[in-house]
Chains A and B, each alone.
Chain A
Amino acid sequence: MTAGSTLFDKIWDAHVVRDLGDGWALLHIDRHLLHDLSGSASLADMAERGLAVHDPDLAFATPDHAVSTQPGRDGMTYVAGSKLWSALRQGAQRFGIRLFDLGERGQGIVHVMGPEQGIVLPGLTMICGDSHTCTNGALGALALGVGSSESTHALATQTLRLQRPKHMRIRCDGALVPGVTAKDLALHIISTLGADAGVGHAIEYAGSTIEGLDVEARLTLCNLTVELGARSGVIAPDQRTFDYVKGRRFAPQGADFDAAVAAWRELKTDADAVFDREEYIDARLVAPTVTWGTSPEHAIAIDARIPDPRGATGQNAEAIAQALDYMGLDAGAPIAGTPIDWVFIGSCTNSRLSDLRAAADIARGRQVAPNVRAWVVPGSEDVKRAAEAEGLHEVFAAAGFEWREPGCGMCVAANGERVPPKARCVSTSNRNFVGRQGPQARTHLASPAMAVAAALTGCLSDVRTLA
């Protein structure tokens, strides 16, 4: 008797154009997202090599990385990025690819606008030249981050030559306690399993905790899959997913939608499927979590103490010491109470409407601490408009936050929006790497609610003490 199939296998098998042997397959790619940084490079590469785009209808382009998020911005506001913005526009026009430009509905961070516009659907394969493409697995899609060469390959052939990864399942059971979000759960998982736990694996998240998360929270969880070392993370689509997808701009309509849902209901791992690795997380034990170091695995509960390299050995002790030196923190001190300078609420991790609502709920009627600069950067034009329709921008403005234009912004600082050297920033993004938010910038990853708590108190704080 052969073992059953995983959700990943089912999507993979349905997209094999040709079995290349040895675990390799020529896999059909159903959707391809292009942004100004890697997308413009692939499109230029195509033009230079005289290649045609295989299926322009399956590609979608939007500027997000190197555009300013300053209020009133246009594509020229960040001059150094303007040539990437122009190249994306020209490339999209040349090859007949849909473009969602600045100020238009649909523009936004690729991993926010993709699900939001119904471009990403359960059961599809999709890629983007961006490692956080794993975000889209939250809908039950096989979503892979790729480099620019693979992106070019997919534009020219609508396929990728891929080797089937190993399978890993992370089961999370139990309800998250109040004040704890999908972001805290993700950081907790990474710190528990390690930043390389998922290398070579496709991850599936399962269990009662995951079933209880709304789709936007699932997108946050899957977003951090690459910080576990894995290229993809997937969640079985369920009624919440179908309800989320229904009616979106590029989602199937009418009879097509009904046929799609019938197919999507089959997208789950068989009871007798075998994973190469299984992990279990008790979600009831997760506290509001922040990072203290320079890898997402350097995460601790807000009421914990900063690790001490003297309690570690070898390479690990050295890594802790280097991280503490870069971060300007004292080993063994409580993390709560650490003074901060900046707060960034945004990024493909935490810039959706539910994130902004959670942030506004804490900020309402309160004030950002003196000496703290705090930004809110909505993930897309649609998120921005929806938030403004609810008056969230006014809540933020009244509390002393700057309300900005959609884009990646200070998560990756590709648009010149940097945290100054040695300044300490609480960020709802996904990477606290050395220099990520600017040379010598010090990043603490946290949930939107925790970021607001830090902004209001001027230091790393437990949001539960504010609620």
Chain B
Amino acid sequence: MQPFTIVSGAAVPFMRANVDTDVIVRIERLTSLPKDRLGPFAFESLRYLPDGSLNPACILNAPRFQNAPFLLAGENFGCGSSREGAVWALMCLGIRTVIAPSYGDIFFSNCFQNGVLPIRLPLDRVEALAAQCADGAPLTIDLKTQMIRASDGASQPFAIDATRREALLSGLDGIGLTLRDDAEIRAWQEKDRVQRAWAWNPVRA
């Protein structure tokens, strides 16, 4: 996983509430494409007109926001389906951070599995950033200092759980980390097989 330290660039003001993961990427794309080729299909119902041409009215298509690393959104971003492809599709667009007031819980977890940082800020502050970044003005996000710096020099802090922050900074793989405790997992299971025999006996092969 790519570690997250400091990222700078444009921020797309995509201020809708309840953006679901079906809208971020259609499930049929996930049945047929590898995870690094989802970019053209991210937000396809919004980015393209019914005839397949680019929708010039969609902010995601604005030339100043191509490869923008930040997405500014409304409440409950990434709600709905658990598809991790929603995060992969955002990554294919170049997005490393979403800033929104709240997130769908599973999407939020999936972001951290892929080195994407979802920042929570109150709606009025996301809206202020959206106004500030509408013309393509860049932001800098520093995970070490937990600061968002705007192009006018103004900075604001953001909160993040310490465990999640460490994992993002190091880019460490969770499986490797957990398998270090495998002896403890197996000891727990051995004890549980006795205490809760009813949970184990019926599925024994």
Task: Kindly name the residue among A22, A433, A436 whose own CB sees the greatest number of chain B CB atoms within 10 A.
Answer: A433
Q: Shortest beta-carbon distance, B113 to chain A, in Å?
A: 4
- From B3-11, B54-62, B64-72, B194-202, the one touching the partner chain is B194-202
Task: Kindly name the residue among A21, A81, A153 whose own CB sees the greatest number of chain B CB atoms within 10 A.
Answer: A153
Cβ of B198 and Cβ of A129 under 8 Å apart? Answer: no
Q: Decide yes or no whether A308 CB sits under 8 A from chain B.
A: no
- With the chains together, A319 CA to B18 CA distance in Å? 9
Across-interface contacts of A163 in B (CB, < 8 A): 161, 163
Across-interface contacts of A149 in B (CB, < 8 A): 84, 110, 113-114, 174
Chain A interface secondary structure, helix, strand, loop or mixed?
A: loop
On whether A131 and B76 interact (CB within 8 A), knowing A28-B192, A158-B185, the answer reads no
Residues of A in contact (CB 8 Å), total 85
Looking at the complex, which one of A51, A227, A412 makes contact with B27 (CB distance below 8 Å)?
A: A412
Cβ of A251 and Cβ of B202 under 8 Å apart? Answer: yes
Residues of A228-269 contacting chain B, CB below 8 A: 229-231, 250-253, 256-257, 259-260, 263
Cβ of B27 and Cβ of A157 under 8 Å apart? Answer: no
Chain B interface secondary structure, helix, strand, loop or mixed?
A: helix
Minimum CB distance partner of A127 in chain B: B82
Across-interface contacts of B45 in A (CB, < 8 A): 434-435, 439-440
Cβ of B31 and Cβ of A414 under 8 Å apart? Answer: yes
Q: Shortest beta-carbon distance, B103 to chain A, in Å?
A: 7
Across-interface contacts of B197 in A (CB, < 8 A): 256, 259
- With the chains together, A253 CA to B83 CA distance in Å? 36
Q: List the interface of chain A (C-beta within 8 A of B).
A: 17-18, 20-22, 24, 26, 28, 30-31, 37-38, 49, 51, 54-58, 65-66, 80-81, 84, 96, 98, 118-119, 121, 123-124, 129-131, 133, 145-150, 152-153, 156-159, 161, 163, 165, 195-196, 199-200, 226-227, 229-231, 250-253, 256-257, 259-260, 263, 295, 297, 315-316, 319, 412-414, 416, 421, 431, 433-436, 439-440
Can you list 10 A-B contacts with CB-CB less than 8 angstroms, sorted by A residue number? A30-B199, A54-B185, A130-B81, A131-B106, A147-B83, A149-B110, A150-B109, A153-B175, A297-B18, A412-B81
Q: List the interface of chain B (C-beta within 8 A of A).
A: 15-18, 20, 22-23, 26-28, 30-32, 45, 50, 74-76, 79-84, 87, 102-106, 109-110, 113-114, 161-163, 174-175, 177-179, 181-182, 184-185, 188-189, 192, 196-199, 201-205
